[in-house]
Amino acid sequence: MTPPGLDPDDPKRAERTLDDQLTAILDVLARNGASADEPAIVVAHSGANFPVTLHLDRHPELVRRVVWVDSGPVAPGSAFAADLPEDVRDLPLPPFDVLSQQASLEGLSAEVLALFRARAVPEPGAVLRQPVGLGNDARRRIPTTLVCCSIPSAQLLDLARGGHPMFAEVADLEHLDVVDLPTGHWPMWSRPRDLAEIIRSAASRTR
């Protein structure tokens, strides 16, 4: 799905919030028949962890398993860019030499990078600044699969156990599977078939 704020044809795109994104997730699940009796598999990549974590906190009964692709649950009160100035309406994709210092571009050809640049939509400032309010421990009981791409699973789990702010929530997950898919931060472009098979396998698990 395309979250609110990332549709280039939306004239109010830059005004969208995390709450708008949560509402959109709920709408997609409802249209596809998700319910407490028939919960869904939810897959999230990268910064989608903020609205998806919010969804897991508010409606854990609607999710049978969550699959994090080079991503993971966020901590209560965290924000993607809390220090982003209020007058910044949106944040465009940075130059690739800057982006590569923040997220691995391994496996992306020049052609893919050109497509990435052409399709990129600036992130709404309100989404980046908004902290997530979390308080439902049931989110930690949802069966979870971590697909580890740019950071090996062993290193990620060590960081989680050590309380690293980006990964600390992982240490509190009660039903966790980890899968290594060595590549960059965008495996849907660098290793799409392997990623699809991992998601298929995760979706078939009962716990």
- Domain hosting 187: range is 13-204
Angle between helices 18-31 and 49-58 (to 10 degrees): 70
Q: What are the tokens at 73? A: 């649950």
For 13, list phi and psi in degrees, rounded to 5: -50, -45
- Asked if residue 39 has pLDDT above 90, the reply is yes
Q: Is the pLDDT of residue 206 over 90?
A: no
| Arithmetic mean of pLDDT, 140-167 | 97
pLDDT attached to residue 205: 85
Q: Which residue has the tokens 């980006």?
A: 166
CATH number at residue 116: 3.40.50.1820
pLDDT tens, position by position, 157-183: 999 999 999 999 999 999 999 999 999
Q: Is residue 1 part of a domain?
A: no
Tens-digit pLDDT profile for residues 5-25? 999 999 999 999 999 999 999
Q: Is residue 157 part of a domain?
A: yes
- pLDDT 10s digits, 72-93: 999 999 999 999 999 999 999 9
Return mean pLDDT, the chain: 97
- What is the structure's pLDDT at 158? 97
Q: How far apart are CA 42 and CA 27, in angstroms?
A: 13
- b/e sequence 121-132, b meaning 16+ C-beta within 10 Å: bbbbbbbbbbeb
Domain count, the chain: 1
The alpha carbon of residue 195 and the mean position of all alpha carbons in its chain are separated, in whole angstroms, by 15
What value, to the nearest 5°, has the Cα angle with vertex 54 and ends 24 and 61? 85
